[in-house]
A and B are shown apart, each in its own frame.
Chain A
Amino acid sequence: MKKDKNEKETFKYKELIQKEKKAALQSFRREDLRSRLKQRIEEEQRKPFSQVFWLRKPVIVAGSILLLIVLGWIMTQIFLPTSYESEARAIRKDLVQAFRLHGFIEEASVPIQPQPGSENLYELEWSIKRVIYAAQRESITDEDIPQLLCQALQNTSLIQQEDEKSPWEMKIEKRNESSRSESNFHQLSS
């Protein structure tokens, strides 16, 4: 009984499909697929070569890869740091290996803290500058320059000693010192 019912149901949907197929085929036969297909193929063949060429998959893929490479190169040029840092690192490495200056470089890389008495260095710098200036202006021979520099160094060491003296003593000594150095200059220049 159940089997009969199932068969009846199967027959029913099969009949439905057959009817649908029959009706659809009738209208399909009326439409000429061959001529429509021919028309579409001709249309496709008439398309300009460039249009078809640029729409090809390998062309699109190759184009995208090329574009990505160019973009990547531009990005690296813009955003990546210059080779300066790597060069500096390489120089430093070479220096360390060549001169065993590792400790010195390490110290130098630490930010400089102002030490007490560093103003003497400033004074020394200006003394040297004065000597060079005088050497340019006056006609001083090369042999005199070391002597003058020695004088400047001496002056700086004297300033260091003055730090321990009273302001009154310092004033007198400074005056004497300046007159002494001036007379030295005049002697040398003459």
Chain B
Amino acid sequence: MEFQARIDMIRNDPHLLSFVQDAAVKDKTEKRSEAFEGLMAFQEKVFLICLGFSRNKTDAQDLTQEIYLKAYRNIRTLKDLSLSKLWLFRIARNTCLDFIKKHRLDRLSFLESSIELKEVRTAESQMIFQEQLRALKICIQRLPKKLRDVFILREYGELSYHEIAEVLKIKEGTVPSRLTRARQAIMNQMKGEKNEKR
């Protein structure tokens, strides 16, 4: 009853009503900015997912920036802020897929690979690493879309099975089976590449 009386009092007083409304908006905005700040904690995970989908680290960096910009623009559309992490990963995956589509990465071979290992000192080992990485990237891109998404989210993004299932909107039980098939396909392809070289 007391609560109802307070509500009525606020409703009847326009100054009080506008004050309460302003406070609610402020609170909502603050919560959103807090949620966005919370999303910044996953920047490395997002970057790694982008690295899995893209050709190199430069593309991955640009994509990460794009993903966060999208998240900033659309965070007000998010109803449940507790799901913001999964929402961010979904944005990441969709943005990467758009990037692949736009740049026709399916048809391109990954000639450009700018990853340099500091621990590898000799030029020869650096070259071998580059070559192996290029072969792996091609194998990943050749995977069927369903398997590729699961593989990248797990191996690059290090997401849990539950998170992967939520991002891809599939059953949790489907994730390990797809992952096993993806790994098997990668190994087969890499073996095939090796045999071709011999």
A residues engaging B (CB < 8 A)?
A: 6, 9-10, 13-14, 16-17, 19-21, 23-28, 31, 33-34, 36-37, 40-41, 44
B residues engaging A (CB < 8 A)?
A: 40, 43-44, 47-48, 51, 57, 60-61, 64-65, 68-69, 72, 115-118, 129, 132-133, 136, 155-156, 183, 186-187, 190-191
Contact B117–A19 (Cβ < 8 Å): yes
Contact B116–A40 (Cβ < 8 Å): no
Known contacts A13-B187, A40-B65, A40-B69; A21 and B48 CB within 8 A of each other: yes
Bound CA span A85–B195, Å: 81
Contact B60–A24 (Cβ < 8 Å): yes
Bound CA span A31–B132, Å: 26
Contact B47–A25 (Cβ < 8 Å): yes
In the bound complex, residues from chain B placing their C-beta under 8 Å from that of A13 are 136, 186-187, 190
Determine chain B's interface SS by DSSP, over half rule.
helix
Of the A-B pairs whose beta carbons lie under 8 Å apart in the complex, a sample of 26, sorted by A's number, is A10-B183, A10-B187, A13-B136, A13-B186, A13-B187, A13-B190, A16-B129, A16-B132, A16-B133, A17-B156, A21-B48, A21-B51, A23-B57, A24-B48, A24-B51, A24-B57, A24-B60, A28-B61, A31-B61, A33-B40, A33-B61, A36-B65, A37-B65, A37-B69, A41-B72, A44-B69
Known contacts A23-B115, A25-B48, A33-B64; A14 and B155 CB within 8 A of each other: yes
Contact B48–A16 (Cβ < 8 Å): no
How many pairs of A and B residues are in contact by the CB < 8 Å rule? 66
CB-nearest residue of chain B relative to A15?
B132
In the bound complex, residues from chain B placing their C-beta under 8 Å from that of A34 are 40
Residue from the list B57, B132, B156 in contact with A28, Cβ < 8 A: B57
Cβ distance A18 to chain B, nearest Cβ, rounded Å: 9
In the bound complex, residues from chain B placing their C-beta under 8 Å from that of A41 are 69, 72
What 6 pairs across the A-B complex have the smallest Cβ distances? A24-B57, A9-B187, A23-B115, A28-B47, A24-B51, A37-B68
Contact B133–A20 (Cβ < 8 Å): yes
Residue from the list B65, B116, B133, B156 in contact with A33, Cβ < 8 A: B65
Cβ distance B114 to chain A, nearest Cβ, rounded Å: 9
Bound CA span A182–B163, Å: 117
Cβ distance B130 to chain A, nearest Cβ, rounded Å: 10
Bound CA span A41–B48, Å: 23
